[in-house]
Amino acid sequence: MREAGRLLARTSPITVTIGCVLYHPEAIVLKVRPAERLLPMLEAVRVATRAATGRDGVLAHEPWTPHVTVAYSTANGPSAPIIAALGRRLPEREITIGGISLVIQDGPETSWDWRPVAEVPFGADRHQVLPE
């Protein structure tokens, strides 16, 4: 975790735009763009994962699609009524990401258990102590 903090200590908060609604069989998400702005964060998390576990992290999907999850689905059913109700776009909003939460994710996909390990703020004091 210290490695992620070190890498992100020089990262300023990142402003991105949300508004495009994406539908997946298991979730509704808002696409975050431009994705390129989040690459320093992604690299820091990869390095921290390698340092903490000795293994490389794996993205769930290629290409990487940064997003904000709005809802998960645990049931099967038609998507058309949901898409008709929400549409494909919401009013665009700029959001600023000021840090990341590092979590351990256990269990099957429909009932994940997410345990926070550390909060890593961008631009954090390099001497800030983070959990090992």
For the chain, the domains span 2-121
Q: How far apart are CA 79 and CA 82, in angstroms?
A: 5
Candidate from 28-32, 100-104, 108-112 with smallest mean pLDDT = 108-112
From the list 48, 95, 44, the residue with the least C-alpha distance to 68 is 95
35 Cβ contact list (under 8 Å, min separation 6): 64, 65, 66
Which helix (H) or strand (E) is 86 found in, with range?
A: helix 80-86
pTM over 0.75: yes
Q: How far apart are CA 26 and CA 41, in angstroms?
A: 25
pLDDT per residue as tens digits for the range 53-91: 788 878 877 888 999 999 988 888 899 999 999 999 999
CATH number for 2-121 (one of 3.90.1640.10, 3.40.1190.10, 3.90.1140.10, 3.30.300.30): it is: 3.90.1140.10
SS3 82: helix
Q: How far apart are CA 131 and CA 96, in angstroms?
A: 25
pLDDT band (50, 70, 90) for residue 11? confident
